[in-house]
Structure 1
Amino acid sequence: MTKSDVLIVGSGAAGAAAAWSLSRNGLKVTCLEQGRWIEKSEYSHGQSDYELARQSEFHKDPNVRRWPEDYPINVSGTPIRPLMMNAVGGSTVHWSGHFPRMRPSDFRVRTLDGIADDWPLTYWDLEPFYELNDSMIGVSGLAGDPGNPPRGVRQTPPLGFDVACEAYFRGLDKLGWHWWPSDNALISEVFGHDRSACNGCGPCDIGCPTASMSSAHVTYWPMAMGNGVDLITHARVEEVTVDENGSARGVVFRDEAGVRREHTARVVIVAANGIGTPRLLLNSVSSQFPKGLANHSGLVGTHLMFHPVGFVTGVFDEPLDAQRGPLGGLMNCQEFYETDLSRGFVRGFELQLSRSVGPFPTANGGLSGVPVAWGAGHHRALGKIYRHAIT
């Protein structure tokens, strides 16, 4: 049995930040990650079949990807598909880096709109930590957006625009809708150690070989490990154990060889994303928690909260070549973000420009999921969409 001051389950955005923050104060920190390190050489950007990898072994959906480190997720009865990665860095490995902050109203939806619950903290409580995180990972963007709270200068300038962006902006300007260059956790200039500026190669969703994308494994983890954090990969945690008082005392996990091991700690942090965390809590059954750890209410594993996204693709007469450049949103239009009761519902949404993809994924539905019909005329129909679409 091994013991630490702090034991973290999951090495993604939250786990990595916690590991760095706690270890710099002298605590002995261990992190268990069921996935592995993904090396730069594994990314398929420079290979001729990179688009095939995007649809198979580097797919964002673990039910499609099916790595040994993944676990199947039951999606029957829901249109939502999980997009997540089990590896060092978690889903920041392939998240594309679109990085807008929440607004103050998002923390007070019960008070303002009578739905759900208010957060136990405000935007302003969180704001110093937003700033700290930005300074740690590197964010590109432009200060001065009148539609959001005041902020300082970003770590690097906004990512560049091209003809595809300009076509979109012309439409927004014609409608009189406010837009602003989006914050991106994707650096436009050299930042930090061994991180190059974005080269615009495009498929950010299958990882970043230049470390331009501010993923946890190239930002927090090198510093956390420099502080002495012990990061154990291929560690599949089976349950959180508790003491006689019902407090978490450690975990039971299987190592890469399948050997069952126990690790104890003064503090246990579960940071395994919106699916993995409740899954682990429900598997942690004991006499104190017969329905799963912290599940006296029976609500653990229900009311999953993600940020749902819908895709709409526009096809233009002129070629836009929107498949070139970073995939993450280069702009935000938050014209409809706040509640307007005249629309017949509360809360709102934002519009994000997410560019386009290459010929193979375009033929198979692109970002909006509508495949080009196969058979006679396929190439002609594809030619009208490929290089002409933005999403």
Structure 2
Amino acid sequence: MDTPTQTPDVADVLVIGAGPSGGMVAQVLSQGGLDVVCLEQGDWVTSSDFPTGRPEWELLVQKRWAHHPSERDVPADYPVEVSESDISPVMYNAVGGSSLFFGAQWPRLLPSDLKVRSVDGVAADWPLSYPELTHHYDAADRLVGVAGLGGNPAYPDGLDYPLPPHPLGPLGLTAARGLNSLGWHWWPGTVAIPSARFGELAQCERWGTCEWGCPRGSKASADLAFWVHNLRSGVRLVTGARVREVVVDAQGRARGAAWVDRDGVEHEQRARAVVVCCNGVGTARLLLASTSPLFPDGLANSSGLVGKNLMLHPNAAVLGVYDDEMGSHRGPLGEALVSLEFYETRAEHDFVRGMKFGAHPFPGVLNQVEFHRSLPFEQLWGPAIHDVVAAHSRSFFYSGQVDDLPEESNQVTLDPGLTDSDGIAAPKVRYRVSENSRKQLAFLVDRLDEAHRAAGAVRTVRLPLATDQPGHLLGTARMGTDPATSVVNADGRAHDVPNLYVADGSVFVTGGAVNPTATIVALAHRLGEHLLATARHQEAVA
């Protein structure tokens, strides 16, 4: 597919980043008749490009398809300095962004997630209510083709999905029996992977390799869910376009963006409004790098909060080995079932807020080996390796993530010495797991182990903290009503720059404990509708 590169001198809207939020914003605006240009520093990736359709895929994903940009080191990437971080963020630069690597879990936030200050006396409330998001969640589900089962008692009444849920399979049924015996909540997993053909998406063939790329084109990554449609709607998408800064005019309005192509040639794309969609690390990096006499500390940063309050959803897991076959190579990887039993604050806990966990298949024998890395040498290598590998088909794992409350000390800054290949400062991530999160993780691991034992596992292996998961990058340009304590308002518009918007996980006030992509896309839909309704009021660029 050819990517058009002829762009207007002044677009109605410039979108920076072609991931899920950029894809949704561009879709709403282009279908509403606006002239949209999107700059994406990555390239198109087709399903046949992924190594997951080859027998040696677990070896191939170690470098070129690694989850971390500093390991891949391909032209589309920029390095990320993580020496002072407990977790290394998962990111990918391409049309579709990091959704090429996501497991496609598609849960919504719960109502309490928007009112954490009111409910639990910590963090801050969101500047919008849960009913204000419902329409946008529903619209996103219909556009993406979400598979799930309505009626989950953990959510308000009325929630349903366009497609039926995926089969639980042997591992899901085993997990369900165990959770039933404990009396814990569970529900079939909700995923943005079609259980029947949907639009451009093939029916899922259950390969289970979702987090390393779907080789069948059966996952609603943003390239397939949005961008094939956006090009038909007239969006001009420019790939290989690394944005250096958002440029402002003398009045402090966003004029457009300065960007560099793969040949090192500098360009500027002008627009009447700019929407930044570069994830919780990339958006902070771009805003901090966009300095000028009017914005010496970075664009939209009068609060000093750009880059701060980074939330990464610390993740833990427990592998269970069973006597029976679990079909653990059969996907989708997202989750066969999910439990929100311990989602809300409880008086008997020594921490606030809670967690979400799910039962997952476990494709690949090398993944099985890697999960056992924490064991003593003699329990993994030598004769023991045969038992470890042989147990693969009889295993599945529970993984969960905790409600990672915002702390200003967890932040993204510009590294003083590290740059990308065009000399643009790289982001430095400083992130430490808080005491509250460590208590949550310890509780979570015990519960995951308990769930396996209740389901009949003959042995378990614990992973108390996954340092390379997940790719949930939230909070670095938070929304709010007060410009002194937030970066954007409830519509995603920057307090300091009237025609600058942010439409990714950066705007989260709190993170909840569920996977954030459904909420990111719903907020992007909301922002798109707002911008479309107010487009005629946007001032022309001089």
TM-score range (shorter-chain normalised) is: over 0.9
Distance (whole Å) between structure 1 residues aligned to residue 375 and residue 393 of structure 2? 15
Q: Per-residue deviation at 1:371?
A: 6.7
Distance (whole Å) between structure 2 residues aligned to residue 62 and residue 150 of structure 1? 41
Q: Hey, which of these two has a bigger chunk of strand by percent?
A: 2
Contact 1:158 1:181 in 2 (8 A): yes
Give yes or no for the alignment of 1:157 onto 2:164: yes
Cα distance, 1:2–1:103 mapped onto 2, change above 3 Å: same
Give yes or no for the alignment of 1:351 onto 2:357: yes
Gaps of 5+ in 2: 1-7, 398-542
Structure 1 residue aligned with 2:210? 204
Q: Which of 134, 138, 163 is equivalent to 2:145? A: 138
Give yes or no for the alignment of 1:245 onto 2:251: yes
Q: Which of 262, 266, 286 is equivalent to 1:260? A: 266
Mean Cα displacement is larger for which, 247-256 or 53-62? 53-62
Distance (whole Å) between structure 2 residues aligned to residue 152 and residue 146 of structure 1? 10
SS in 2 for 1:310: strand
Q: Structure 2: which amino acid aligns with 1:303?
A: N
Would you identify which runs of 4 or more consecutive aligned residues in structure 1 move more than 3 Å?
A: 369-375
**What is the RMSD computed on CA atoms of the aligned residues?**
1.7
Contact 1:364 1:372 in 2 (8 A): no
Contact 1:184 1:330 in 2 (8 A): no
Cα distance, 1:378–1:71 mapped onto 2, change above 3 Å: farther
Give yes or no for the alignment of 1:335 onto 2:341: yes
Structure 1 residue aligned with 2:16? 9
Q: Aligned ranges for residues 13-52 of structure 1 at < 5 Å?
A: 13-52=20-59
Q: TM-score, normalised by structure 2?
A: 0.69
SS in 2 for 1:267: strand
Distance (whole Å) between structure 2 residues aligned to residue 64 and residue 375 of structure 1? 26
Structure 1 residue aligned with 2:177? 170
Distance (whole Å) between structure 1 residues aligned to residue 233 and residue 196 of structure 2? 26
SS in 1 for 2:132: helix
Contact 2:105 2:190 in 1 (8 A): yes
Q: Per-residue deviation at 1:384?
A: 5.2
Q: Aligned ranges for residues 61-210 of structure 1 at < 5 Å?
A: 61-193=68-200, 195-210=201-216
Q: Per-residue deviation at 1:278?
A: 0.3
Q: Structure 2: which amino acid aligns with 1:245?
A: Q
Distance (whole Å) between structure 2 residues aligned to residue 33 and residue 129 of structure 1? 25
Q: Which of 396, 401, 406 is equivalent to 1:390? A: 396
Distance (whole Å) between structure 2 residues aligned to residue 11 and residue 352 of structure 1? 29
Q: Structure 2: which amino acid aligns with 1:13?
A: P
Q: Structure 2: which amino acid aligns with 1:18?
A: V
Distance (whole Å) between structure 2 residues aligned to residue 222 and residue 332 of structure 1? 31
Contact 1:285 1:291 in 2 (8 A): yes
> What percent of counterpart residues are identical?
41
Give yes or no for the alignment of 1:311 onto 2:317: yes
SS in 2 for 1:364: helix
Structure 1 residue aligned with 2:511? none
Cα distance, 1:256–1:2 mapped onto 2, change above 3 Å: farther
Mean Cα displacement is larger for which, 54-63 or 339-348? 54-63
Q: Which of 296, 307, 316 is equivalent to 1:301? A: 307
Structure 2 residue aligned with 1:227? 233
Q: Per-residue deviation at 1:237?
A: 0.3
User: 1 or 2 for the larger relative contact order (CA 8 Å, sep ≥6)?
Assistant: 2
Structure 2 residue aligned with 1:53? 60
Q: Structure 2: which amino acid aligns with 1:138?
A: G
Distance (whole Å) between structure 2 residues aligned to residue 371 and residue 67 of structure 1? 33
Deviations 1:111-159 (A, max 9, x none): 1111111111112101100000000010001111122112354221101
Count residues with an aligned counterpart.
388
Q: Structure 1: which amino acid aligns with 2:204?
A: C
Contact 1:332 1:353 in 2 (8 A): yes
Contact 1:323 1:356 in 2 (8 A): yes
Deviations 1:343-374 (A, max 9, x none): 122111111112213112221237xx647846
Distance (whole Å) between structure 2 residues aligned to residue 212 and residue 384 of structure 1? 29
Q: Per-residue deviation at 1:341?
A: 2.0
Q: TM-score, normalised by structure 1?
A: 0.95
Deviations 1:175-202 (A, max 9, x none): 0001111211011001113x21100111
Q: Structure 1: which amino acid aligns with 2:333?
A: L
Distance (whole Å) between structure 1 residues aligned to residue 375 and residue 291 of structure 2? 45
Q: Per-residue deviation at 1:332?
A: 1.1
Q: Per-residue deviation at 1:307?
A: 2.8
Distance (whole Å) between structure 2 residues aligned to residue 87 and residue 219 of structure 1? 14
Contact 1:93 1:206 in 2 (8 A): yes
SS in 2 for 1:350: strand
Distance (whole Å) between structure 2 residues aligned to residue 362 and residue 25 of structure 1? 48
Structure 2 residue aligned with 1:285? 291
Contact 1:62 1:82 in 2 (8 A): no
Cα distance, 1:143–1:324 mapped onto 2, change above 3 Å: same
Structure 1 residue aligned with 2:425? none
Contact 1:11 1:33 in 2 (8 A): yes
SS in 1 for 2:245: strand
